[in-house]
Amino acid sequence: MTQQWSAPTADGPVHATVPVPGSKSITNRALVLAALADGPSTLHAPLRSRDTKLMAAALRSLGVGITDGPDGSWLVTPSPMHGPAAVDCGLAGTVMRFLPPAAALAVGEVVFDGDEHARTRPMGTILDALRALGADIDGEALPFTLHGKGGLPGGEVTIDASASSQFVSGLLLSGARYESGVTVVHDGKPVPSLPHIEMTVTMLREAGVAVDDATPNVWRVEPGPIAAREYAVEPDLSNAMPFLAAAAVTGGEVTIPGWPAATTQPGAAVKDILERFGCTATVDARGLTVRGPDRLTGVDIDLRDESELTPTVVALAALAQGRTHIRGVAHIRGHETDRIAALAAEVNRLGGDATETEDGLIITPRPLHGGVWQAYADHRMATAGAIIGLVVAGVAVDDIGSTTKTIPDFPGMWAAMLGAR
């Protein structure tokens, strides 16, 4: 059941320090790599939210040992994977795209399904790729059934990854365990969210896997063991953005502690993006501190590389002075919902002026009024509504529970941030 939530308005500039939970993208990659590794691994400070708990549950159902360490860590003990198993992908792109390539190494039948919205997310590309690499799968989208044979020949496959970088990442993460490794060749419009593929490549190399990514749009993973490791999960920089946006839209100051000096997370771009909107941003020993200006200025911005930030950028744009043009994110129509359509509809519902383009949105600020902001079961739609609600009275978000996808307690964190003035 969905839970409507009255977004609190800020009674002045927001001043707070907000520790954010671990990265979804790093946690779910680490879980898969640890499950396929040559010994037990530990994930320190993993994200424990719906997406990562679903990944852990799915791996457990295939026979992998995942237990809680005393300090919130996860201890992962690999074991030969087997069915029968039923995997609930929820609405998690990382589960539905990263797990089938791993489950192809299992013996037995594995049935995959997910939320209603998940059944419409693009999956055909990765299922066809796995079939080309030797897997036996019935279906083109969720739900589908994989008949595991205990291994996969692997080899070279050409795919069109323009709908999601996760097709590439999924194949690379398990590819070292295929008999011939894997070579993924992309042929199509540009691959979105490329830094997320670089994150995959980096984490594979850190686990001792040989990866050649020297040629654009070609990735080669050599067959071989994946080393067991200690994983230190960084804070989720994309999930930091709504809290930093609270400083941006109220002229306040928010610090995110533990901001990594170097990272593969595309969310690192939030610093530059907020500066372009007119904020000042500093990284020092305290973390990343963002100070909001008197008035945000609209931006012309290509978000192809960090497309998951689009809903938050739209919330800022709706409250800025001057037009914002967001480009390069056509594929986010296949994210948790059609985000281009959803963002335009919700900004306009509150009296704003947002127009869909083929690959993004144009937002012309107008005074907004209260109303019920629909989240479409999408965590980042929900947090975008919360940002607007800070400065527009009477905004409610229809499904704040959707935020548990990647943040265990968003309403609690938001309240603590506002209480800290």
Q: Which of 234, 306, 308, 336 is catalytic?
A: 308
44 is in an annotated binding site: no
Asked if 289 touches ligand S3P (CB under 6 A), the answer is no
Q: Name the nearest CA neighbour of 378 among 334, 326, 330, 335.
A: 335
165 is in an annotated binding site: yes
Binding ligand S3P by CB under 6 A: which of 234, 236, 305, 308?
A: 308
Distance of CA 6 to the CA centre of its chain: 25
93 is in an annotated binding site: yes
Asked if 255 touches ligand S3P (CB under 6 A), the answer is no
Please identify, using beta-carbon distances, which residue of 93 and 360 lies nearer to ligand S3P.
93
Please identify, using beta-carbon distances, which residue of 166 and 250 lies nearer to ligand S3P.
166
* Binding residues among 154-213 for ligand S3P as defined by CB under 6 A: 164-166, 169, 192-193, 196
Distances (CA, A) of 242 to 152, 219, 407: 42, 33, 12
Q: Could you give the CA distance from residue 354 to residue 357 in angstroms, rounded to a whole number?
A: 10
166 is in an annotated binding site: yes
CB of 216 to ligand S3P, least distance (A): 16
Q: Which two tokens stand for residue 51?
A: 């997406």
Q: Could you give the CA distance from residue 287 to residue 244 in angstroms, rounded to a whole number?
A: 12
Is the CB of residue 395 less than 8 Å from the CB of residue 350?
yes
Asked if 25 touches ligand S3P (CB under 6 A), the answer is yes
Please identify, using beta-carbon distances, which residue of 94 and 265 lies nearer to ligand PEP.
94
| Partner from ligand PEP, ligand S3P, none contacting 169, C-beta within 5 to 8 A by type | ligand S3P
Number of shown-chain residues binding ligand S3P (CB under 6 A)? 12
Q: Which residues bind ligand PEP (CB under 6 A)?
A: 92-94, 308, 335-336, 380, 406
Is the CB of residue 330 less than 8 Å from the CB of residue 357?
no
Triad 200, 332, 48: Cα angle to 5°:
50
Please identify, using beta-carbon distances, which residue of 253 and 338 lies nearer to ligand S3P.
338
CB of 379 to ligand PEP, least distance (A): 7
> Does 253 qualify as catalytic in the annotation?
no
Please identify, using beta-carbon distances, which residue of 97 and 271 lies nearer to ligand S3P.
97
CB of 95 to ligand PEP, least distance (A): 8
63 is in an annotated binding site: no
Q: Name the nearest CA neighbour of 135 among 174, 91, 169.
A: 174
CB of 130 to ligand S3P, least distance (A): 17
Q: Could you give the CA distance from residue 261 to residue 275 in angstroms, rounded to a whole number?
A: 18
CB of 49 to ligand S3P, least distance (A): 13
Query: Which residue, judged by CB position, is nearest to ligand PEP in the bound state?
Result: 93
Pairing of strands 155-159, 182-186: parallel
CB of 360 to ligand S3P, least distance (A): 14
Binding ligand S3P by CB under 6 A: which of 21, 46, 93, 411?
A: 93
What is the residue whose two structure tokens read 């709908």? 163
Which residues, at least 6 apart from 111, have a Cβ–Cβ distance to it below 8 Å?
84, 85, 86, 87, 143, 144, 145, 146
193 is in an annotated binding site: yes
| Partner from ligand PEP, ligand S3P, none contacting 92, C-beta within 5 to 8 A by type | ligand PEP
| Partner from ligand PEP, ligand S3P, none contacting 380, C-beta within 5 to 8 A by type | ligand PEP
147 is in an annotated binding site: no
421 is in an annotated binding site: no
| Partner from ligand PEP, ligand S3P, none contacting 193, C-beta within 5 to 8 A by type | ligand S3P
What is the residue whose two structure tokens read 């070279």? 156
CB of 118 to ligand PEP, least distance (A): 8
Q: Where do contacts with ligand S3P occur on this chain (CB under 6 A)?
A: 25, 93-94, 164-166, 169, 192-193, 196, 307-308
Binding site members for 3-phosphoshikimate? 24-25, 29, 164-166, 193, 308, 335
Binding site members for phosphoenolpyruvate? 24, 93, 121, 166, 339, 380, 405
Binding site members? 24-25, 29, 93, 121, 164-166, 193, 308, 335, 339, 380, 405
